[in-house]
Amino acid sequence: MWLEGRPTGITLVHQSNGGKTVEFAPTVPPRGGLAYGGGEFHCQANRVVFAGKDGRIFSGTNTDEECSPITPAFGSCASPCISPDGKSVLFLHSDGQDDSIGLTDLSGNDWPTRLVHGADFYMQPAWHPGGQQITWVEWNAPHMAWDGSEVKLGRVDPITKKLTSIITIAGNNHTPVFQPEFSPDSRHLSFLQGAGDRDELILFDLSSGQRSTIIKNRILIPPAWVMGMRVYGWSADARVIYCIFQEQGQSGILQVDVDTGVSREIELRPYNSFSQISVAPAGNRFACLAASPYAPAEIIEWTEGNIRVVRSSMERPTPYEEISTAQAVQWKNHRGSIVHGCYFPPQNAAYTGRGLPPAIVHVHGGPTSQADSSFSFETAFFTNRGYAVLSVNYRGSTGYGREYQQALNHHWGEYDVEDTLSGAHFLIANKLADPDRLVIKGGSAGGYTLLNTLIRHPGVFKAAICSYPVANLLTIVAETFKFEAHYYDSLIGPFPAEKEKYMDWSPINHIDQLRTPMILFHGDSDQVVPQEQSDEIAKALQQNGIPHSYTVFPGEGHGWKKPETLETYFGMIEQFLIDTVVKQ
């Protein structure tokens, strides 16, 4: 089973034994409502439970045309998980203020019970195969899950439906943990844990309490921006674990022998980016999302070395000769620190060019995120039209170790700007781009970096492409939702103690120094960065006579979903670049 994004919304679909793909309950849109979403559904045999857009948990079978709600419409839910006996469902719940782990009867006849509460945030609840124990991850503000969190273990009383004991297995405020899972043979509780600059996969023996580390010195824990993330899974016989690892803008999958700890990387070419691994409950096989340098995400099934493409997100593959493949690059900024990135040269077999190409310096969002080397429609749009693209993984990006990720703490708006600027200088020094035709592009947190770069280093970039940027730190702190309420404590500093710094590093307070032509976009339904952030920027650009255009897309949120929006967006950008860069 998987989710598919359609112009009309998200649809849950399934496929049995490689047969026909069938939509499941298309009239009820599944949507996890916590953090940035995720954790929409869980299935056991032919029974499916999923979080609805209205905050309810729904239940049905994969042959049902309609599903029934088993919880009331209250707050937001995510990560439903059916108990081994098929009678109960664990789920995450939030009313916007208080978060908890709920328990409800699969029949929907009983009122839900608040099983676990008291912490600020929860994720990744899971049942023990015996059905009387559960595990989960929790953490408290001002920390984010990737800064410090805890794996908990509790026992559920089948009569009272309450936890009779709760113990902390691993983690603390300064050590992140991720994805606790019980082994299918009931012997172990496994989890990922930060260990210095890298991560480990640890087994906790539920009988003896002994711990063993079976993967060491790998980058395994992704930033948990969404619920329901999975990076490893147990084989049905509990003898093997399949685990995704990150390295230098790419990822791979390890096959680990549980008894010996011996691991090997599975050959999965041409794919170089993996996520959401799911191991079959029978047989030696797994499915996951996989992307390659030449095609966007596909669902693949791996069985003993054989790969089957289950579903592709692109109907007609673009010829290889039309696709620019990434080159992992690194350079030093003015402090002497190493900065990482992915460089995509211009690529179009039908055309040649003279001189050095114009280039797009792309700043990813997050900022706790990364740009990888797999296929990107947006990157291909530019490289196919003669632009080079440099995706900057500035300090603060994931995928290069915890020290690199945490380097941005208390320096957001400073180090990211330095690294973006040094990326432009890297292109110039290595004759990879025309220094007079550089463009900067970013959205959300990347838009914040874009604005600060243009303000503090005018004249480097000829044009800017900006989407839903963070422009006013004072208002974003006041208006942001619970999940990010204290995120800026680590990025900037605690508020209001560091109020002066928030004011000084807000682009809107220095917008009179901006002189670069800009095309600006926002969605009027954005719940992450309010439209007022872009409204302020557009007003200032207008008052200062800076060439710009500002478009607000109706019905769009933090990113574009509608085909007509995408068509307008790319068409406007192409003409903007022709007018500001190509014709100059």
Residue 376 identity: S
Report how many helices (DSSP H) and strands (DSSP E) the chain contains, helices first. Answer: 9, 35
Beta strands in 140-222, from DSSP E residues, in sequence order = 149-156, 163-172, 177-182, 188-195, 198-205, 211-218
228: left (phi over 0), alpha (psi -120 to 50) or beta: left
Q: How far is CA 229 from CA 244, 301, 362, 461, in A?
A: 12, 18, 26, 37
pLDDT above 80: residue 66: no
Taken in order 312, 318, 323, 325, the sign of the CA dihedral is positive
Ranking 10-24, 111-125, 419-433 by mean pLDDT, the lowest is 10-24
List beta partners, residue 493.
Answer: none
List beta partners, residue 58.
Answer: 50, 69
pLDDT above 90: residue 478: no
pLDDT score for 480: 79
Q: For helices 415-429 and 445-456, what crossing angle results, to 10°?
A: 70
- How far apart (Å, rounded) are the C-alpha atoms in residues 120 and 239? 36
User: What is the pLDDT averaged over residues 437-464?
Assistant: 97
Whole-number mean pLDDT of the chain?
A: 93
User: What is the pLDDT averaged over residues 487-511?
Assistant: 93
Strand order in the sheet with 273-279: 273-279, 285-291, 298-303, 306-312
Residue 124 identity: Q
- How far apart (Å, rounded) are the C-alpha atoms in residues 322 and 324? 7
Beta strands in 354-397, from DSSP E residues, in sequence order = 359-363, 388-393
- How far apart (Å, rounded) are the C-alpha atoms in residues 239 and 213? 15
Place of tokens 């280093």: 457
pLDDT above 70: residue 26: no
User: What is the pLDDT averaged over residues 146-159?
Assistant: 93
Question: 120 and 147 in contact (C-beta within 8 Å)?
Answer: no
Q: What is the pLDDT of residues 347-397, one digit of tens each?
A: 998 888 889 999 999 999 989 999 988 899 999 999 999 999 999 999 999
pLDDT score for 317: 64
pTM of the full structure: 0.93
- How far apart (Å, rounded) are the C-alpha atoms in residues 451 and 576? 18
- How far apart (Å, rounded) are the C-alpha atoms in residues 292 and 380? 13
Ranking 157-161, 210-214, 567-571 by mean pLDDT, the lowest is 157-161
pLDDT above 70: residue 489: yes
pLDDT score for 160: 84
Query: Is the model more confident about 227 or about 317?
Result: 227
- How far apart (Å, rounded) are the C-alpha atoms in residues 397 and 189? 30
User: What is the pLDDT averaged over residues 92-104?
Assistant: 94
Measured in whole angstroms, the distance separating CA 581 from the mean position of its chain's CA atoms is 32
Place of tokens 């603060």: 396
pLDDT above 80: residue 64: no
Ranking 141-150, 205-214, 330-339, 474-483 by mean pLDDT, the lowest is 474-483
- How far apart (Å, rounded) are the C-alpha atoms in residues 464 and 287? 39
Q: Provide the Cα torsion 370, 375, 379, 384; round to 10°.
A: 160
DSSP 357: P
pLDDT above 80: residue 318: no
pLDDT score for 161: 84
pLDDT score for 265: 95
